[in-house]
Amino acid sequence: MLYLGIAIVITFPVVLSLSTQFLGGDTSDSYEMARHIWWFKTALQTGQSPFWQSNLGYPEGFSGVSLQANFLQFFPMWLFAFVMPLATAFNLTILLTLALNGWSLQLWLRQALRRENGLPARAIDAGALLAGVVFMAAPTFQGHLFEGHAGLLVQWTVPLYLLALERFVAAPRFAWRWLALAVLFFQLAPSGHMLQVIYMLLPLTGVLLLVRLWQRDGRGAARIVLVGAAGSVLLLLFLLPLIQETLASAAYTDTGGYVRYSADLLAIVTPSFFHPLWGKLPYTAQVLGVNLGEGSQYIGLAAGLLALVGVRHFPAARTWLLLALVAWVLSLGPLLKVLDQPVLLRLGDYQTYLTLPLAPLQNLPGFNLARTPGRFNFALALALAALAGYGAAGLWARQPRLAAGGRTAGAAGLLLAALIVADYQSFFPVPTRPAAIPDAVYALRGRDDVRAVFNIPYEHLLGAKDALYLQTAHEKPLIAGQVTRQTPVNPARLALLQATLHPALLRSRGADIIIWHKQRAQQMGRYDALAALLARQFPPPIYEDAQIAIYETPADPAALPPLTTLAPASATLTDSLEAYVYAPQSRWLLVEATLTGTGQEVSLSRDGRPVQRLRVTGTQRLRVPLPLPADSFTALRLSLALPCPAVSAPPLTCDAVQVNSLSISEMPVPVRFDLIEFDRGIELLSSAVVPAAADHVMVYLDWRLSQPPGAFDIRFVHLLDSQGRNVAQEDSRLSPLPVAQAWSEAIRLSTAGLPPGEYTVRVGWYDLNTMQRFAVQTAGLPGGPDAAPILGTITLP
């Protein structure tokens, strides 16, 4: 009950508004978490899979397998949601989680302190009790509480893992029970958030193993390795679907932040700038800046003094000092920061930054997902709690009046606990978000004519979370939506729907209701533009307040809009730039631009698949034909193979490419979407044959290659007369392609001087060494597998 009471104090006054306010600030994930709680409950009630987001990304939906892997992130929230409001379920789970963190730490440290000879029982109890207070109240927990990171707060499994591991390692005989429990809690430790494998399990288990090796305890080291290996194998099997999805998702792999979300060098002595007393210190905001959630690691006065006592008097405590040092160094990230700015090092005319041990690790597979080094502070909090517990036990053991127990000891323990909590308090009162939703949003729930809701501006990351929470009221599918970080829905679709707000286009995608998040648009500087577009395209809203406006999409009988593009006419390419296209009919698209550079490699990709590469030396013209199916949204991206460095300092200068006259036009060329498959994983997805002028014919080809073509793999396009004679051809190799990818090309075959008549265009591949054609895998084509497929027929007058 003590720990639950402390949790209530830390989160005060939310206990007075459990059902009307969510814990967390305006930038938190609280609304997103609430939506996922609601979805678990709704899916189970309606017989759907909680791990498939059928009402997000309308109409296709998308996977939500991460909800399965991070089980304790939402449990028991969704269970509570069956019988209580979402806000109550969310807040109550966080209160219980904080209390469990303190309880489990106390349980483990009591076992550890019992191994110290001569410690009286009162000293052991006091040390374990105060260690639990330090752990549950640590500023890193309060920072993530502010951010609504409920899953990261789930740390009670880690002390239980330590308890079982230490019992297994110390057992005189091989104890299967403790092995099973250690492996179980090893798996449960990252079930609040899978990246706790990196932030907590890896440094913790690694340090324990190193200490055993240093002590030459081969048996103990072997048992730690056994637990780690067995737990890792089982954890890998459980997380495999999530790992596959995560590595394929740009929402994780393309997200940076290693420096921004790392701890400052001074963070260990910096309390929150929202602290009722310490927040008045002038340096707190300079150190923590906008990184209060990830960068909080204040050691504290009371806990710090207790830790020093523990290190001095107990050799066993030095293991936890080593873990504290390892976690602290890793939390600083790849570059040293002071006052929230990387430290600049000048060596003559050369400027660089001070790199830290995490720098060579951050791009390793797996580690590249851990973009928030500040989360190593959880391991630091665990180590500091253990050190403070040893210190408190030593203090009690050396004071007879405390060791004897009684009122004096109880008062001293409560006073120290109060000092620790008061010193650590990051917010008072704690930030909250309202749970109330306008009745007009609830009213949408009963409307059968509403298929889906489109929230704008869709690209505002916090607005996207607001939209998720509103879904718990209207219960309609969302055109966008996300499980974490950002939506996986095609950005071209979202960008063009928002840019045009064309009623017919919106209707074609099921967007019968538009919810405009007015304050989020204001924050992006998009308010006036969106307000004008909405006023031009829609009747007045059916509901409006200071936060949102709700519009019904008019039933516009007009045709879909013509070819619509969003692209900058010119830009300096330092990394990548994106363009979006909507095509109402199936046509070939021509992407053109003038590129100026000094030898950089530039690639053009379509919906994430590269279709052309070229090395830009001087000024060159980019001309790429791309086939588009009817009523399609396409995302195009121009990218540098080597992006400009984030830090502009010699010799890391930016070698950019200037892009001018970028245009995307529709060619009146019919597209043939007949898939033709060849050996070696080569597929012709679409093609077109067009007599472009009196003296030539244009052939457009769109390939997909499952592996890079070899140096002797030749693609050929032949023009044959009525007698089957080859009268024009273009044979070339695509071996410069470094990886398997798509490839689009336009081929010009000369018809100058050819007599009138009918001609056919054939395509295929052959091996230059053997002159053998690649067999055609597609059945039913004329000529069988050894013939070159016919793409089209032309008639020359």
CA distance 715 to 745: 11
User: What are the tens digits of pLDDT across the range 566-590?
Assistant: 988 888 988 889 999 998 888 888 8
- Within 10 angstroms of residue 400's Cβ, the number of other Cβ atoms is 9
Q: How confident is the model at residue 406 (pLDDT cuts 50, 70, 90)?
A: confident
- DSSP 8-state symbol, 518: H
The Cα–Cα gap between 270 and 275 comes to: 10
Q: What is the predicted pLDDT for the residue at 734? A: 75
On whether the CB atoms of residues 583 and 589 are closer than 8 A, the answer is yes
Residue 559 pLDDT grade (very low, low, confident, very high; cuts 50, 70, 90): confident
Q: Please, which pLDDT band fits residue 654 given cuts at 50, 70 and 90?
A: confident
Regarding beta strands 576-583 and 632-640, do their DSSP bridges make them parallel or antiparallel, or are they unpaired? antiparallel
* Strand 587-606, strand 609-628: pairing: antiparallel
For residue 289, is pLDDT > 80?
no
- d(C-alpha 520, C-alpha 524), whole Å: 6
Residue 401 has pLDDT above 90, yes or no: no
Instruction: Give Cα 255 to chain centroid, integer Å.
Output: 6
Say whether the peptide bond before residue 651 is cis (omega within 30 degrees of 0): yes
The continuous run of DSSP H or E covering 372 comes out as none
Q: Beta strands 511-517 and 452-456: pairing type?
A: parallel
pTM of this prediction?
Answer: 0.88
In 629-750, where do the E strands start and end?
632-640, 657-667, 676-678, 682-693, 696-705, 713-720, 726-733, 742-750
Alpha-helical (H) ranges within 525-656 are 527-537
DSSP structural state of residue 517: E
3-state SS class at 46: helix
Q: Which pLDDT score, from 0 to 100, does residue 241 have?
A: 66
pLDDT digits (tens, 9 = 90+) for 746-794: 898 999 889 989 999 999 999 999 889 999 988 777 766 677 888 888 8
The three-point CA angle 225-229-233 to 5° equals 175
Helix (H, G, I), strand (E, B) or coil at 596: strand
Per cent of the chain over pLDDT 70 is: 94
The predicted structure's pLDDT at residue 248: 55
Q: How does pLDDT run across 365-383, given as a tens digit for each residue? A: 767 677 889 999 999 999 9
Q: pLDDT at residue 462 above 90?
A: yes
> pLDDT: is 473 or 288 the higher one?
473
Cis, bond preceding 357 (omega within 30 deg of 0):
no
Encoded tokens for 627: 């086939």
Q: Rounded CA gap, 196 and 378, in Å?
A: 9
Mean confidence (pLDDT) of the chain = 89
CB 355 within 8 A of CB 335: yes
